[in-house]
Structure 1
Amino acid sequence: MCRLLLPFLLLLPGFANAALPLERIRLPEGFRITLVSDQVPNAREMTWGERGTLFVGSNAAGKVYALEPASGKVRIIASGLQLPVGVAYKGGDLYVSAVSRILRLRDIESRLDSPPDAEVVNSDLPRETHHGWKFIAFGPDGKLYVPVGAPCNVCDDDPDTYAAIHRMNADGSDMELVAQGVRNTVGFDWHPQTGELWFSDNGRDLMGDDMPDCELNRLEKPGQHFGFPYCHAGDVTDPKFSQRPCSEFVAPVARLGPHVAPLGLRFYTGNQFPAEYRNNLFIAEHGSWNRSEKIGYRIKRVELHPDGSLKRQSVFAEGWLEDGDVWGRPADVLVTQDGALLVSDDHAGAIYRIEYVGQ
């Protein structure tokens, strides 16, 4: 069962007086949502520093933020960047994606009040801004994973570069192809037990309200092809690029719905939520634009069987869309040290916290 939750706001120094209608968010019984900050414009990908700093990239503001959850203080640690959506932390340094470049801010948590200049780690990525923003993350192999989206709605431009996921060393060297046929992933994570890469993929537009579905995919070995631009959602042949059958490609584990725009996703590895949530996937659905009736604008929960097949999917949090009106758009999710779940919202410029408080 779900119920409407009363607003519960963190009233700590530096936190803004919230006007966001969190009482409208529907969650499973026993969960509540609170506001961490509404001072993070265009908030997108989130990552933790080793000292507990929350770093947040942005989609349109050109800025990267550092948030101290205990005090609510928000700092701008980089500005003037091109779509710095992606942030990843490793060895004391913060890595930032900026379309054609991967940047690094060294020893960042010791220098929050006087951030260092960004160093260029890699500048060999394409310059197109159509699907040019990038979610980035370090994998269990220590390499930085960097997607390159298709520079179009649907096209077959240079499949070794576009519509693909790549990885490189932390110093930007030895970039290699990991997966092909991935139209635009803006969220991925590794399974806590198998170490396999799981990623969302945004389906193509302009095929009508109800097709194709966006996807949740699983990479079992490097080099697999997931269908774009020839096949969508496992069995939808593209009307323009129909020369290769869907049987040639890896089908998605789950169809997430047409035009829901899945972005950030994470496996739940905390201990605060009930045991049945362990190793579930949470997916931020940013919401549709290419649909006559809006859909998405919510957090999806995906449960898997031990073999990695889909057990079920359900809506975990919703209410940012009401009667066609939108007041928030989830962009990423991130598990906290105490097992809560953070949600970034680039529409409201906010970070929320969802926690389990019991029945």
Structure 2
Amino acid sequence: MKTGSSQIQSGDNRKTYKKIRCYLFIPATLALLQLNSCTNNPATHTPTLAADADNVGLVLPTGFAALKVADSTGNARHIAVNKNGDIFIKLEEPRQGKGIVVLTDKDGDGRADGRSSFADYGGTGIAIKNDFLYASSNTTVFRYKLDAKQQVTDPLHPDTLVSGLIDRGQHNSKSLTLDNNGNIYVNIGAYSNACQEKDRTKGSPGMQPCPILDSAGGIWQFKADAMHQGYGTGKRYATGLRNVVGLDWNQQTNALYVMQHGRDNLHDFFPELYDVKQAAELPAETMYKLSEGSDCGWPYIYYDQFQEKKMVMPEYGGDGKKEVTDKYENPVATFPGHLAPNGLLFYTGDMFPEHYKNGAFIAFHGSWNRAPEPQAGFMVAFVPFQNGVPSGKWEVFAKGFAGRENIAAPGDAAHRPCGLAQGPDGSLYVSDDKMGTIYRITYKK
């Protein structure tokens, strides 16, 4: 894939340039269009955006450009953009007591010039659907009504849709998405690596059956308009998923797709079966298409992307060669191990070329346990789709977030992609939960 940069207008004089061009003499036939380009309603026009001179350090395909919307927002996890282009950011930990940041762009230059915050809880999940904002803590899902201006009407008193979800510290982010039939889907990650009797302990066997799956390790479905739901009123929609941070509803197939984080410690616990290189690369990070009742196999199996097989976990009698041929879901796409897919977005906009229409963008947060191999990830990948299935190999769409090629430890990365959102004009937004940077990626035809 070709890489390059596209600079639309850059430099410190961009605001002056914007102001001047609105007063230049122009033909009468263009007057109305020029007037519209000087208004502040991003939902009704696409302003001329000034890309950063170096695309904020990102390497993008030819024709694409990037600009920094904001930085230092906090540990920005998932994000949502309303019809007016305002950005809602869910912070993992509240900042100055507030866990949702709202960015506004009053002058239409693509950069935030207004910032406010509300909500007294941290977490990851956030989404907008049918004039409601949905957001989650690590135990609870809330809903806020949006007014005609797409602003939250009562930030102090949200509806409590779901509460009492399990949080034991590990894999506890309650990521969420919504379908078109009034349902909300919530990840409840497994508080375990491989459901061992003693978690992450060499020699400890896997529990059979795994008791964690009763309340975690899957996707739960709730009603998007019902109050005070919980395990007793919700439905376990899919199981056998160690941890899903990135998930999205595919509008073309009307189905739920998720990105699973694969297990750790293969060499640490089973050095006789896996060498350090295998442990750095296995198992695959996997994308699944789910339907009600899907079982993806955790903790009993993992997916080996090299053999293209579902393998029995060593805690359950596997030896790196013993496979499972049926019973569990097959992934629709696979990726290298330990890259940590934290965001998933199916692109439905019109700004990007046709190649990207209905395809999947994935934000890889970056690994922590690929030693002695270099850490990897720290990028946004793309998978082309046709009719709900991948139509080609995955490709790197945006890299450079980490700031350098060789990352020995995750803390060495300058930025770590986490959330993805699509703007009303078709721009792609990417959040960074290390430095709180919000990126906007555009395409100029």
Give the match's secondary structure for 1:159: helix
Distance in 2 separating the partners of 1:277 and 1:65: 29
- Which has the larger displacement, 92-101 or 140-149? 92-101
> Which residue in the other structure is 1:181 paired with?
240
Q: Using the alignment, how far apart are the partners of 2:83 and 2:58 within structure 1?
A: 31
The TM-score with structure 2 as length reference comes to: 0.73
Q: Is the 8 A contact 2:285 2:341 kept in 1?
A: yes
- CA separation of 1:23 and 1:91: change in aligned 2, threshold 3 A: closer
Deviation of the 1:157 alpha carbon: 3.0
Alignment-derived partner of residue 31 in structure 2: none
In structure 2, the residue matched to 1:65 is 101
Which of the numbers 229, 232, 236 marks the counterpart of 2:299?
A: 229
1:8 shift after superposition: 4.7
In 2, the alpha carbon distance for the partners of 1:297 and 1:5 equals 22
More strand by proportion, 1 or 2?
1
CA deviation string 1:161-219 (max 9, x = no partner): 21110111122444111111111111111222211111111111112211111111111
5+ long unaligned stretches in structure 1: none
Asked if structure 1 preserves the Cα contact closer than 8 Å seen for 2:84 and 2:150, the reply is no
Cα distance in 2 for partners of 1:20, 1:163 equals 44
Report SS of the residue matched to 1:40: coil
Which of 301, 324, 343 does residue 430 from structure 2 map onto? 343
User: How many Å apart are 1:287 and its aligned residue?
Assistant: 0.4
Q: How does 1:120-199 map to 2 (within 5 A)?
A: 120-155=160-195, 156-170=210-224, 171-172=226-227, 173=229, 174-199=233-258
Question: Which structure 2 residue ranges, 5 or more long, are not aligned?
Answer: 17-50, 196-209, 267-278, 304-308
Q: Verify the 8 A CA contact 2:253 2:387 in the aligned structure 1.
A: no
Separation in 2, partners of 1:97, 1:74:
21
- TM-superposed deviation, 1:26: 0.7
Alpha-carbon distance change, 116 to 281 in structure 1, aligned in 2, over 3 angstroms: same
Q: Is the 8 A contact 2:136 2:175 kept in 1?
A: yes
CA distance in 2, matches of 1:20, 1:188: 32
Change (3 A) 1:123 1:36: same
Deviations 1:292-342 (A, max 9, x none): 111100000001343624521100000123122411111011111111111
SS of equivalent to 1:209:
helix
1:307–1:330 CA distance, 2 compared to 1 (3 A):
closer
Once superposed, what is the RMSD of the aligned Cα atoms?
Answer: 2.7
Aligned-pair distance for 1:34? 0.5
- From 59, 75, 94, the equivalent of 2:116 is 75
| Residues 124 and 174, structure 2, Cα contact 8 Å, conserved in 1 | yes
Say whether the 8 Å CA contact 1:203–1:259 is kept in structure 2. yes
Name the CA distance, whole Å, in 2 between partners of 1:303 and 1:213.
Answer: 19
Per the alignment, in what secondary structure is the counterpart of residue 338 of structure 1?
coil
Give, in angstroms, the shift of residue 51 of structure 1.
Answer: 4.6
Query: Aligned letter for 1:283?
Result: I
Contact 1:106 1:116 in 2 (8 A): no
Q: Which amino acid aligns with 1:257?
A: P
After TM superposition, give the deviation of residue 257 of structure 1 in Å. 0.9
Q: Deviations over 1:110-149 (max 9, x none)?
A: 7659732344322131132211111112212211111100
**Aligned pair partner of 2:419 in 318, 322, 332:** 332
| Structure with bigger gyration radius | 2
Letter in 1 for 2:101: Y
- Relative to structure 1, the CA distance from residue 33 to residue 307 in structure 2 (aligned partners, 3 Å threshold; closer, same or farther) is closer
Per the TM alignment, residue 19 of structure 1 is displaced from its structure 2 partner at its CA by: 11
2:301 maps to amino acid? C
Partners of 1:261 and 1:296 within 8 A in 2? yes
Distance 1:70 1:237, change over 3 A: farther
| Aligned counterparts of 1:266 and 1:331: Cα–Cα separation in 2 | 11
- Offset at residue 245 of structure 1 (A): 3.2
Distance 1:52 1:27, change over 3 A: closer
Aligned equivalents of 1:241, 1:64: Cα separation in 2? 42
Distance 1:145 1:20, change over 3 A: farther
Determine which of 316, 329, 352 is the counterpart of 1:241.
316
Structure 2 SS opposite 1:33:
strand
The one-letter code matched in structure 2 to 1:213 is A
**Which of 390, 401, 420 is equivalent to 1:320?**
401
Secondary structure of the structure 2 residue equivalent to 1:199:
strand
Shift of the 332–23 alpha-carbon distance from structure 1 to 2, 3 Å rule, reads closer
- What corresponds to 1:212 in structure 2? 283
Among 73, 86, 91, the alignment partner of 2:125 is: 86
Contact 2:143–2:160 (CA under 8 A) maintained in structure 1: yes
Q: Amino acid of the residue matched to residue 94 of structure 1?
A: L
SS at match of 2:394: strand
Q: Which has the higher helix share?
A: 2
Q: Identity across aligned pairs (percent)? A: 30
Q: Secondary structure at the match of 2:355?
A: helix
